[in-house]
């Protein structure tokens, strides 16, 4: 599998469509190929904190791990850096800045400094705006679908990061790591009397 194919697989959520027995093998292979370098490359520290807080609101820790526990922010940074084109990276970073702008106008502080209920109010507003804006995506000639809404992009990346992680797949989806079944050729019993001739 080539690096670009791995990125497409993870960025578009295609990995989630694999049969359970093949999912973790495919994902482990994909994540090993991508092995991100130390440190973030697209998100700054403030953006990192905002993405982590938003991802954790989308998929919070309960009796199973949350988005932050599976490294969703690092996954999102990797996808922003290596998969998305410059206009989409700009859309995402501007979206994060807009989240803080909304937060300051409503509550007088950055998103990460708000109480969880205030943060939830902002995500609800972003979700409503997303539903109004997002129409059926139009693929390019290469089959690539450009992103048009920051919050839709964040949600898709967070969910993909979560469910393509080993913890998300095993502890939330309860996929069991079982090797593929072996189906050998069917043995036809010898005709009557053949074994007796030996």
CA–CA distance, 77 with 60 (Å, rounded to integer)? 19
Q: pLDDT per residue over 38-83, tens digit each?
A: 678 899 999 999 999 999 999 999 888 899 998 899 889 988 988 8
In the DSSP assignment, the letter for residue 148 is -
| Contact assessment for residue 163 and residue 18, using Cβ atoms and an 8 Å cutoff | no
- Domain range for 73: 3-135+147-177
Q: Residue 94, Cβ neighbours under 10 Å: how many?
A: 12
Positive or negative torsion for Cα 145, 37, 93, 27: positive
Judge whether 185 lies within some domain.
no
pLDDT at res. 162 = 86
Q: Supply the pLDDT for residue 150.
A: 93
DSSP assigned state of 83: T
Residue 73 lies in a domain: yes
Q: Please tell me the distance from the alpha carbon of residue 51 to that of residue 181, in angstroms, as a whole number.
A: 40
Please tell me what DSSP assigns to residue 194.
T
Cα diameter, the chain: 94
Other residues' Cβ atoms within 10 Å of the Cβ of residue 131: 11
Q: How many Å separate Cα 109 from the centre of its chain? A: 29
Nearest-angstrom CA–CA distance, 164 and 15? 7
Residue 20, pLDDT score: 45
- Identify the pLDDT of residue 148: 79
* Residue 156 domain flag: yes
What is the tally of structural domains in the chain? 1
Q: What is the pLDDT of residue 1?
A: 47
Q: Is residue 182 part of a domain?
A: no
- Identify whether 195 is part of a domain: no
Buried b (16+ CB within 10 A) or exposed e, 33-49: ebeeeeebebbeeebbb
In this prediction, the residues of the chain whose per-residue pLDDT falls under 50 are 1, 3-4, 15-21, 23
């Amino acid at each position: 599998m080539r690096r670009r194919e791995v990125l497409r697989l993870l960025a578009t959520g295609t990995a989630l469509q694999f049969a359970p027995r093949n999912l973790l093998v495919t994902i482990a292979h994909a994540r090993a190929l991508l092995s991100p370098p130390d440190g973030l490359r697209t998100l700054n520290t403030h953006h990192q904190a905002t993405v982590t807080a938003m991802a954790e609101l989308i998929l919070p820790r309960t009796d199973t791990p949350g988005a932050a526990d599976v490294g969703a922010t690092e996954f999102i940074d990797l996808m922003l850096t290596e998969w998305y084109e410059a206009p989409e990276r700009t859309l995402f970073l501007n979206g994060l800045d807009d989240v803080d702008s909304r937060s300051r106008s409503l509550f007088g502080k950055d998103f990460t400094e708000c109480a969880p209920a205030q943060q939830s109010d902002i995500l609800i507003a972003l979700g409503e705006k997303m539903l109004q804006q997002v129409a059926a995506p139009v693929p390019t000639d290469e089959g690539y679908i450009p992103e048009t809404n920051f919050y839709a992009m964040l949600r898709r990346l967070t969910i993909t990061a979560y469910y393509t992680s080993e913890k998300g797949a095993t502890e939330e989806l309860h996929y069991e790591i079982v090797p593929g079944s072996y189906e050998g050729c069917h043995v036809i019993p010898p005709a009557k009397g053949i074994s007796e001739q030996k």
